Each structure stands twice: as structure tokens, then as C-alpha cells.
Structure 1
Amino acid sequence: MGHDKRIVIVGAGYGGVHAAKLLNKKLKKEDGVQITLIDKKPYHTLVTDLHEVAGARLEPDSVRVYLHKIFAGKKVDVITDEVEKIDYEKQQVVGKAGQYGYDYLIIAVGSEPCDFGVPGVFEHGFTVGSLELATKTRDHIEEMFRKASVEKDVEKRKKMLTFVVAGAGFTGIETAGELVEWTRDLCNKYHIDRNDVKVMVVEALGNILPNLNQKLAAKAFKYLTKRGVKILTNCAITKVCEDYVVLKDGSKIETKTLIWTCGVQGNRSAENFGLELNRRFRIHTNEYMQAAGKENVYVIGDVAYYEYEGKPVPQVVETALQTAETAVHNIIADIYGSSKKPFKPNYHGFMVSLGSRYAVAELMGVSLSGFLAMAMKHLVNIHYLFGVAGLNAVLSYIMHEFFEVKGNRSLLGGHVAARMPILWLVCLRVYVGALWLIEGISKIQQGWLNPSKIFIINTSDVSGATAKAGEAANTAQKLQPLLKQPPAIYKWFMDTFVTPHAFVFQAMVVLTEVAIGLALIAGLFTVLASAGSIFLSLNFILSAMADKSILWYIFAAIALMGGAGRTCGLDYYVIPWIKNWWARTPFARRTYLYIS
């Protein structure tokens, strides 16, 4: 490169984050490149999961991925600022908190809900277009149930318990699916008859989910209607008021809750950028994703307007990711003097969840529905999160979607969602620890730490363990071991590695038993101590010297791994300290191997 290059990305949505990660990957060895990502929020929002927040299946923190975690150890400077304008002559991005020079600029400010000129939508309606709006919608819905539970006026109560979703596209149908599940739980919580609750979907077109094939759309229609959702098609909403909405035929739906999901437009902040816009605030680009008339300014994601084969590219996640890849390729091509490539979309399909356990999907021409479609949706989300923030983000997603759910609202129901009452494990932990400690002390008294006394002998009976995890070897013949003789590979291992160093391994067994006992009693590193308990027990089984009673140790240790050291144990203090220390290490930041 001839001189330093400054690349600034405005917006940390799907496109902006993907562009920043790609630039880091391809240019991290270039000392003369500076990559800056600017967003008014310090986190990346999983916008495709906002309907789950609005429906109270996920907590707000579940859809936040903080930028400092995504780009820790990366060649990307993250700045929290709100961009007000762009000075193209000086090549500066002007924010409220500062100015940022650039040689290449990527605009990825995303989209926002569009009211399509319908009066009252934003004044009286609700949306799921951002984390704040989705949270506001969720709070309002529960507030309606709370008020309805004490409301005596029948008409007022009916309005409070009527929920209208405007729009039957992906977001509208997903929101309706969440609502019909959540309202069931709210009815139980506030002692309201489920028959008093009405969930409706109002669609201006003649069918729902127009981007899916008719067969899948029909399955979605049937699934929702079977669960009590009333779907009205060919019914455009013409006005939204505080207590009702007006349809195109002049009829009214009395409601205190309209959730507007009829579509999006480009982020209005694009008006301040001085670029050519279409009527929906999307910035016109050429096939290289360059803004019209600006060779070093690229536009990606929902805010970009480009027609491919005569049709505008859709405002979906795959468009954001693929336009980001095109822009990054062309910026690097310009830096190194190679050829640019035009944007060619390659969509793999669409997935729509209808609550927590059912989905419809069309993936690479294959139609899926039910459990399999929902499983695929989770796998796609996991794949994306792994690319964004590694294993830590994946584990966090799994915890939120399966282990921390309320009302059994997950693909697996409540089978893995119940939280173990760890207080009751304290006694078990101390008891198992005491048994290991007593066993270790007993071996010491027998002389296991005396080099002249070898209890681990070089025969087929290669262990001194007993049914209670290690009584003296001379009592082993009285037992009925689980295995008649050690497996051949185990015998080979013992003959090759253990017998030549018998005392060392014998001492290790004793000290390990003592260490496990002390750790479990103290509640220190309980997971590791439990794993050690399982390892020793399995070793005793493989040695053909342990009977079925040894299995008790294994299953007790598995139970103790559920956090038994966090109550009345040192893990309560030590583990948080280790997590904080580890999170600050360069290795953890570089590899995303944070400890949740």
C-alpha cells in the first residue's frame, strides 16, 4: 500500500459487524490500515429475535452482544457515538462526540419501522423494530393483563384483552406466534379466562407469508388458527387510534394494543448524509455497493437500495451479510489495485417460527415444518453467533433458549429448563467429599505413600480399588466386579505406563482422593473435583476390581456438577474472581473463550 488507509463503518447491525470482522480478517497484518466501527449503542442487537423479547420468551440481555466482546483483540476500534452528518470534501464522519476521518466509508445504519402513511401508527401503536421498542411492547402487553384483571367494565376489559398484529409477513407471524403462547401464561398469572383473550393478525394482502411457498404458508395459517389466532386477509388498516383501528371497509377493531409489523424503511438518519435516497430512505447504490456518485463510500444492509434483475434486494439478514462481503471485497480490491466484483445475491431460504416449538422453513428449495424446521432455525442462529462472537455467544444462546426459559417455552419444552435447587446438594457434596477423604487417609495409614509397599501390582488385577472406591487390594477377591477382567487396552496401558512407575501412580491415586475429598467438602472447584471422582471411579471399574456400588459415586458426581459449590462453598467467591481475571487475558479476548 502507498500510505495508511482509514476505513470507517457506521452502524453495528448484521452488515456492519460482518464487514468489520471481514476487514479485520483480511487486513489484520497490514500495519497501515485503521478500521473503526461507530454505533450509538455499545452492543449488536439480534434483530431477528426481537419478537421473542416482545413475547417475553427471551430477556432483553439475550439479544445483546456487546461490541467490546466481539472485537476484543481485533484490529477494530469500536466507538460509541451518534453520527450526525458526513463531510465528503474533508472525508470526515461527524458525530456528536467527535469527528472521524476516512479513506473508505461503509454506511450500515439499517432500517426502522415504516407506517406507509397510515395515521396514528407511531402515536398509538407498538412495534418490535428495536430492542427498546420490543421491550416497551412486552411491558405494555403485561400491563394490559394486569389492568384487565381488576377492570369491572366489560367493554374496557375487552379492549385490553384484544391484541392486533398488523402485517402477516415474517415478523408479524412470528410475533403472533409468541403472543398466543405468552397470553396463555399471562391468563394463568392474572386469573383470566383464556376465552376472553383475542389475538388477531390483520393483513392487507390476500395471503400470509408471501415470501414462502403456499404449502408452508397454509401450514402456518392452520397452526395459528388452531391455537385461536384470528387472521384477516385483504384488510388494510387505514387509521390507528388510542382505542381502536379502522379497516379499509370502514369497520373498527376495538383494541388498546396494535403491534405494527407491516414493513421497514431505511433508517431516517440517512437523510443527513447527503446521498441519493429513494422514497423509503434507502440509499441508491451501484452494483458494487458504492453510493451513487461516491466511489469510496459503500452502503450495505437494509439501508442500501439496489435493484437486481429488476427487483429491489430484500431487507433481510442474508442481504446485509452478502452486501457486506461485496463492499469489503471491493474496498480491498481498490487498496491493492485488483478488480472489483458486483453484488450477486444468493439466498439460501427463509425460516419463520410460530412460538417456541413450531416453525416453517424453506431452505435451498427444501420445505420443512414443525420440530425439524425449528431445530434448523436454532442451528442457523448458532452458526451466525459462532461467527460473530465464538463459543461464548453460542453457549449464551443455548442457555437463554433452552435452560433459562419460562413457562416451558422452548423446543424441548421444560425438560431441560428446570433449575436445580443447589441448596439441597450441599449435604451430598460434603458426604461424597468425606468418603473420598476417609478413603485417602485409610490408604495413607496402610502405607500407600511408602515406596517399599506397592499395592498396584503388575498382574491382571492391576488396581487396589474396591467397591467403595479403594479398599485394600487383598480384599478385592471377595467382590463381584462389574468386569470379569480388565479390557485389553487397559491392561496394555497399565503394563506399559503404570507398572514401571508403580509408586508414582500409587501416590497419585492417594493424593487425588484426598484432594477430591477436601475440594468437595470446601466446595472449591467442585466441577473439577466431581470430574476427578468420575475418572477415578471409571478407572476402578476398568481395573475389574469394583462392584456395582461404585456407580453411586459416578451419578452423585454428575449431580454435583450442577453448581453444588456455589452454595456454602468457596466456589461462590473463587469462580467469579477467576472469570473476571480470565476475561481480561488477551487469549480469552482473542478467542472469545469467555467463561459465562
Structure 2
Amino acid sequence: MSSIPKIVILGAGYGGVLTALRLQKELNYNEADVTLVNKHDYHYFTTHLHMPAAGTDNPENARVNISKLIDEFKIDFVKSTVVQIRPQDKKVILEDGTLSYDYLVIGLGGEPETFGIPGLAEHAMSIRSINSVRLIREHIEYQFARYKLEPHRTDYLTFVVGGAGFTGIEFIGELADRMPLLCKQYDVDPNLVKIYNVEAAPSALPGFDPELVEYGMDVLAKKGVTFRIGTAIKECTPSGVVVGDNEEIKSATVIWTGGIRGNRLIEEAGFETMRGRVKISDHLLAPDSDHVYIIGDNSLMFNPEGRPYPPTAQIAMQQGVVCAHNLVASIRNQPLKEFTFSNKGTVASLGKGEAIGVAFGKKYKGRVASWLKKAIDIRYLFIIGGIQLVLRKGKFL
């Protein structure tokens, strides 16, 4: 190992940013060289993307420049795309160069999981980045404009959202809020607009409190959402989706929110994966490794009941903190810390002023849950950027 160990962090998502910020705080000057690699020069709030996707908020509000978060005297930021990870050589190949490392943190984020459903990758859109939500927003508005020129095409006004997990439900809430405004803007009869939510599992928000799920579905149904729960999407075609017993829903807009898998670069690097995720140790290390940490959507960890933890921002942030602690401990030859997930609660928004959530062992719904979600978002801004970031971005959340 060189005199000053090199730490390379791949990905500036929730896990990567928290790891970098903690290292910045805990490492002494010249104790390690830390490099953060990300393909954009900004960090974006995945949990906020459903709003700009539906057009109820500006995409700019869902991102913050990485230069505003890190201290460039302590952390080198490299804006580049990772092409290959070579653990055997302790190297990362970027599209415009190579980085060698002593310690590696992989937090590259996930990719949409299509479960092999034919046509989904080709014909559906997904809420996964600032650029993808810009596209969805433009596309939705374009359908209204097209309908005015071809009024027989009601498929332009039919929107199908595949998946009733958090992203799906939060997006539908915003989309349903946006529809009356678009109808007014384009002089379209609101009765012609159809929003379908199709979910293969027997309930929306699987694993969430059933009483709250029922409340949430009721709120969204009143906003005009038609639920098809316990119904699988069999195929996605250029003209819509085929669901259940070969029923076709004609739609020019299919948005897939039905799952995330890990990053294909990890499989290509030779790590053993399940749906692109690596089963990591309690110290967040890759199997048989003492220097490769894997966090966020790329990691697979099981709860005490033996079920995998869902890949949420909350778990990625907590992993980032422990990952940084363990990197510092490794460099100083101190014992590593085991990761224990502490569930602070979960809140799903249902559009403006409406949400459902469980926090501090209690259930919340309606406006109180909506305030709670805002408080969680503001807390995150404070953690990564202090009071300045809260003042700059807090009013938009």
C-alpha cells in the first residue's frame, strides 16, 4: 500500500455522498487521498423526482451541485462515467482515464428491473434521473397537444403507471394533481383522462401498514386513479400494455416504477450478485474482501427475519455513515463497526397536502403525514449541506 492510502468512491447518490462527507469530517489532513466519481456534477434527490416527472415542480429543485457539498481541499471530485471495475488490479476504468485505489466504495445506484417483461425496456419510461424526469414531463404535455390535433386518439390521454411501490404511488399522486391544470391549459374534457396503476402484488405499497394503504388508495381513487392490483403487466407494446388475461390498455404513456436492480458493472466485475446486488458482510464489505465496500442499491442485506431490506435512501445514508467509519478504522488499524439498520419511519406522499406514513411507532395520514415528509426532506438537506442548503432548497420540498 502506498504511503497515503487512496480511497475511491463510485457514485454520488445518498450512500456515496454521505460516505464522502463523513470522510471529509473524520480524516486528518494527509491521512488518505479521497476521490469521488460521479457522471454528473450534481447530486439529486431520488425521493423527490416524482414531482418534476409529473410537472408539479422544477427539476432544478431536485438537485444540488456536488461542489457546494464537498471541500475540494479534502476530496477530489471527478466528473466521469465508470466503464469497468477491476478488483484484481485495484483499478477503476473511467471513460476518460484510470483510477487506482487501496479502498473502493461502490455506490453506483440501481437500474430499472424489468423482470423480463417483453417490450418494457423499449417502450416504457422510468423515473430514475433528472434527465429521465424531464423527458417524462415533456412527453406528458406533448400528449395533450397531440390529442387536440387528433381528438379520436384517447390513448394520448391514457396514462399507465406500472408498479404500486413508493415511486409509483407518489408519482400517481402528483400526476393526478397535475391533470386538471393540463386539461384547463389545453381545453381538454377532464373525463377523457384515464390514469391506471397496475401492480402484480396483491396490494399497493407491499409491506406497508394495510390501514394506511387503504386510506392512500381511497385518496388517489377520489383523484381519478383506477387501480389494477393483483394484475401483472404481461407485455408493453408501442400502443400500450397487455395486462392480466390478455386485456389491452391502449396508452401512449407507460411509466415503469416496478423495481430496481443493482448495476450491471458489478456483475461484470466478477462479484457474485442477486439481481445485480451483492450480499455484503455486516461491515458492508464485499465477500472475501477487506477493502471493497458496497452500499446503497448495489448492496444486499437481510433483516433479522431473513428478508432483504428494500433499497431506500434511508438505508443508503446509514450505510454511508458506517462505511466512512470503517474506512477510517481500516486506515488506523482499529476494529470495524457492524452495520445495524435503524428504521426511522417511512412516509409516502399522495400529492399536495396528502401523505401516509409510519414514524416513531405511530401511524400518520393526511396533512400531518405531509408535514412529516417535508421534515424528513429538510433534515436530509441539513445533513448534507447545513443550514445554507435548507434555506436555499427547503422551500421547494
TM-score range normalised by the length of the shorter chain: over 0.9
Q: 1:60 deviation in Å?
A: 1.5
**CA distance in 2 between partners of 1:325 and 1:31 (Å):** 21
Amino acid at match of 2:105: I
For 2:15, what is the secondary structure of its paired residue? helix
1:196-231 per-residue CA deviation (whole Å, 9 max, x = no partner) reads 111111111121112321111011011011111111
Q: 1:330 deviation in Å?
A: 1.8
Q: 1:2 deviation in Å?
A: 9.4
Q: 1:308 deviation in Å?
A: 3.3
Q: Is the 8 A contact 2:24 2:71 kept in 1?
A: no
Equivalent positions of 1:196-595 (< 5 A) are 196-278=192-274, 280-309=275-304, 310-401=306-397
Q: Is the 8 A contact 1:3 1:32 kept in 2?
A: no
Q: Which residue of 1 aligns with 2:86?
A: 87
Q: Is the 8 A contact 1:284 1:304 kept in 2?
A: yes
Alignment of 1:15 with 2:10, yes or no, is no
Amino acid at match of 1:380: I
**CA distance in 2 between partners of 1:258 and 1:302 (Å):** 24
Q: 1:291 deviation in Å?
A: 0.8
1:129-158 per-residue CA deviation (whole Å, 9 max, x = no partner) reads 2221111111111100111122232xx2x1
Q: 1:74 deviation in Å?
A: 5.2
**CA distance in 1 between partners of 2:331 and 2:70 (Å):** 23
For 1:252, what is the secondary structure of its paired residue? strand
**CA distance in 2 between partners of 1:224 and 1:90 (Å):** 52
Alignment of 1:78 with 2:73, yes or no, is no
Q: 1:247 deviation in Å?
A: 1.0
1:23-46 per-residue CA deviation (whole Å, 9 max, x = no partner) reads 11110x232311110011111011
Q: Is the 8 A contact 1:24 1:74 kept in 2?
A: no
**CA distance in 1 between partners of 2:94 and 2:255 (Å):** 32
**CA distance in 1 between partners of 2:393 and 2:24 (Å):** 25
Q: 1:85 deviation in Å?
A: 1.8
Q: 1:320 deviation in Å?
A: 0.4
**CA distance in 2 between partners of 1:378 and 1:15 (Å):** 21
For 2:36, what is the secondary structure of its paired residue? strand
1:272-321 per-residue CA deviation (whole Å, 9 max, x = no partner) reads 3222212x111231121111122100000111122233121210011101
**CA distance in 2 between partners of 1:88 and 1:118 (Å):** 33
Q: Which residue of 2 aligns with 1:56?
A: 55
For 1:307, what is the secondary structure of its paired residue? coil
**CA distance in 1 between partners of 2:73 and 2:207 (Å):** 38
1:381-425 per-residue CA deviation (whole Å, 9 max, x = no partner) reads 111011112233212323434xxxxxxxxxxxxxxxxxxxxxxxx
Q: Is the 8 A contact 1:37 1:76 kept in 2?
A: yes
Q: Is the 8 A contact 1:334 1:340 kept in 2?
A: yes
Distance 1:89 1:263, change over 3 A: closer
1:494-526 per-residue CA deviation (whole Å, 9 max, x = no partner) reads xxxxxxxxxxxxxxxxxxxxxxxxxxxxxxxxx
**CA distance in 2 between partners of 1:137 and 1:53 (Å):** 9
**CA distance in 1 between partners of 2:151 and 2:248 (Å):** 23
In the superposition, the TM-score normalised over structure 1's length comes to: 0.65
**CA distance in 1 between partners of 2:73 and 2:315 (Å):** 25
Q: Which structure has more strand as a fraction of its residues?
A: 2
**CA distance in 2 between partners of 1:134 and 1:222 (Å):** 26
For 2:125, what is the secondary structure of its paired residue? coil
**CA distance in 2 between partners of 1:387 and 1:302 (Å):** 20
For 1:141, what is the secondary structure of its paired residue? helix
Q: Tell me which moved more, 10-19 or 72-81.
A: 72-81
Q: Percent of aligned positions with the same letter in both sequences?
A: 35
For 2:297, what is the secondary structure of its paired residue? helix
Distance 1:398 1:286, change over 3 A: closer
Q: 2:189 aligns with which of 189, 193, 218?
A: 193
Q: Is the 8 A contact 2:42 2:63 kept in 1?
A: yes
Q: Is the 8 A contact 2:85 2:265 kept in 1?
A: no
Amino acid at match of 1:5: P
1:57-96 per-residue CA deviation (whole Å, 9 max, x = no partner) reads 1112111111111114551111111112233344222211
Amino acid at match of 1:104: Y
**CA distance in 1 between partners of 2:106 and 2:394 (Å):** 32
**CA distance in 2 between partners of 1:125 and 1:31 (Å):** 48
For 2:226, what is the secondary structure of its paired residue? strand
Gaps of 5+ in 2: none
Q: Is the 8 A contact 1:47 1:130 kept in 2?
A: yes
Q: 1:239 deviation in Å?
A: 0.3
Q: 1:111 deviation in Å?
A: 0.7
Q: Which residue of 2 aligns with 1:535?
A: none
Q: Is the 8 A contact 2:164 2:199 kept in 1?
A: yes
Alignment of 1:161 with 2:160, yes or no, is no
Q: Is the 8 A contact 2:112 2:259 kept in 1?
A: yes
Q: 1:329 deviation in Å?
A: 2.0
**CA distance in 1 between partners of 2:387 and 2:73 (Å):** 16
1:422-451 per-residue CA deviation (whole Å, 9 max, x = no partner) reads xxxxxxxxxxxxxxxxxxxxxxxxxxxxxx
**CA distance in 1 between partners of 2:281 and 2:52 (Å):** 36
Alignment of 1:131 with 2:127, yes or no, is no
Q: Which residue of 2 aligns with 1:184?
A: 180
Distance 1:31 1:72, change over 3 A: closer
Q: 1:101 deviation in Å?
A: 2.0
**CA distance in 1 between partners of 2:281 and 2:166 (Å):** 28
In the superposition, the TM-score normalised over structure 2's length comes to: 0.96
For 1:376, what is the secondary structure of its paired residue? helix
**CA distance in 2 between partners of 1:2 and 1:270 (Å):** 26
**CA distance in 1 between partners of 2:181 and 2:113 (Å):** 31
Amino acid at match of 1:45: Y
Equivalent positions of 1:40-51 (< 5 A) are 40-51=39-50
Q: Give the length in aligned residue pairs.
A: 396
Q: 1:47 deviation in Å?
A: 0.6
For 1:312, what is the secondary structure of its paired residue? coil
Gaps of 5+ in 1: 402-596
**CA distance in 1 between partners of 2:73 and 2:164 (Å):** 41
Q: Which structure has more helix as a fraction of its residues?
A: 1
For 1:164, what is the secondary structure of its paired residue? strand
**CA distance in 1 between partners of 2:35 and 2:2 (Å):** 20
For 1:289, what is the secondary structure of its paired residue? coil
